[in-house]
Structure 1
Amino acid sequence: MDTLVKTSLFSGICSLVTLPYVVAETIGIQELQFCTFFNNRGPKPQPNLRNCTWFGKNSCCMQEEIDAEFSTMKPIPGASLTCQRYTNYFLCYICAPYQNSFYIRERLTVCEEFCDAWYDACRSAILKGSVISSLHKNGRDFCRSRSYEVDTVANQKCYMYDPQMKSMAPREQYFRFYSGLLTFIMLLVYVS
């Protein structure tokens, strides 16, 4: 390969590689994490969490705050184990280090996809004396009835449950993907 072709190829690849970082920064992927539920303090390691343990490496909550928050919750009659797990994960939003993207001005925004899965898991449970599926037609309706805002995961401004990577927000998955892509492309350039 002559120098001009290598330079053009390298410039083109660099443009492709930097584009995700520009897009990521534009949509807030690399924004600073802070804990809007707790007066904007910074998240920090909490290795002794007994619940919400997936947030232990970087958490907005402390164990005593989880205890205080969860102690006010009553068990949901008729809730399956899956329903209980979704509900528990939902309550752990107070620990999420990226909560500044979904808890704004004391308003919680939950991903519609999470609402749908949570609703499906809890549809036969009892809420206010009635079966949840008779009270609400879908997950969006269920979450909105609880006074939560609802948005899609694609907008990256909502709380989402990921059973594969419990502690990882969609924005962190996106960033890790492009970090890996950058490494792969740089290896291709150096091998050529």
Structure 2
Amino acid sequence: MKLQVLAIQSVFCACIVAVCSTKVCSYYGEQRYAAPQSSLSNCSWFSDSACCRRTEVTSVLGGMYKINKASQECKNRLNYMMCYFCSPNQMDWYDENRVIICSDFCEETFKVCNTATYNNEPLLKGFETASEFCKAQSFHMIEGTQNCFNFDPNVFDTGGQSLSSFLFVFVSFLLCVFVIH
């Protein structure tokens, strides 16, 4: 009997973890949920929980033009910016068919990409401000860091998974232990 109760509690905990980790991919509508995706060529940091599929990444980023004279930080920021459609956190900052981007992300990207060129022309030619640049990318810029798409510099570190993923698993484990006892 005790073994059956333990089995039921384990299934209950697994269901809690599954429900809590389900994230709607609002860019794609209410029918798609974030899921593990292997072989994401350009947005690999979202592999554990991605809203996009490999074919979508290839379609969107495969035809990107080569940017020259860009620092590694600029390349990382632009790459991250272009992978917004893979983020499992879309429901926090994708609204009314637009990406709501954090002003710091946009402004810092604009700043670090000032030397980048495309076809021997400045990448930022024609944009006087970060706001103009992000608006041209169809992003809506807001102040602050809440409920907006923000750059995560940790995804370009070689340290592995992000702390937030670890914390989610750890808290879920603690919740299950608490429920079982």
TM-score with structure 1 setting the length: 0.62
Map Cα deviations across residues 108-161 of structure 1 (whole Å, 9 max, x no partner).
11111100121112111236875356633442232123331001333x221101
Conserved 8 A contact 2:69-2:115: yes
Q: Distance in 2 between matches of 1:89 and 1:103?
A: 15
Q: Residue 13 of structure 2 aligns with which residue? A: none
Matching residue within 39, 47, 58 for 1:48: 39
Conserved 8 A contact 2:103-2:142: yes
The alpha carbon displacement at 1:59 in A equals: 0.7
Q: Residue 92 of structure 1 aligns with which residue? A: 83
Q: Percent identity?
A: 26
Q: Distance in 2 between matches of 1:133 and 1:50?
A: 26
Label 1:127 to 1:144 Cα distance change in 2 as closer, same or farther (>3 A): farther
Conserved 8 A contact 1:35-1:42: yes
The alpha carbon displacement at 1:68 in A equals: 0.6
Counterpart of 1:33 in 2: which secondary structure? coil
Conserved 8 A contact 1:153-1:160: no
Conserved 8 A contact 1:102-1:109: yes
Label 1:31 to 1:103 Cα distance change in 2 as closer, same or farther (>3 A): farther
Q: Based on CA coordinates, which of the two structures has the bigger radius of gyration?
A: 1
Structure 2: which 5+ residue stretches go unaligned?
1-19, 176-181
Letter in 1 for 2:99: L
Structure 1: which 5+ residue stretches go unaligned?
1-29, 184-192
TM-score with structure 2 setting the length: 0.66
Q: Distance in 1 between matches of 2:124 and 2:41?
A: 32
The alpha carbon displacement at 1:63 in A equals: 1.0
Conserved 8 A contact 1:59-1:97: yes
Per mean C-alpha deviation after superposition, the further-off stretch among 132-141 and 49-58 is 132-141
Counterpart of 2:99 in 1: which secondary structure? strand
Counterpart of 1:161 in 2: which secondary structure? coil
Q: Distance in 1 between matches of 2:71 and 2:100?
A: 24
Matching residue within 135, 152, 172 for 1:162: 152
The aligned length equals 146
Conserved 8 A contact 1:33-1:42: yes
Matched, 1:37 2:34: no
How well do the aligned residues superpose, as a CA RMSD in angstroms? 3.2
Q: Distance in 2 between matches of 1:54 and 1:32?
A: 18
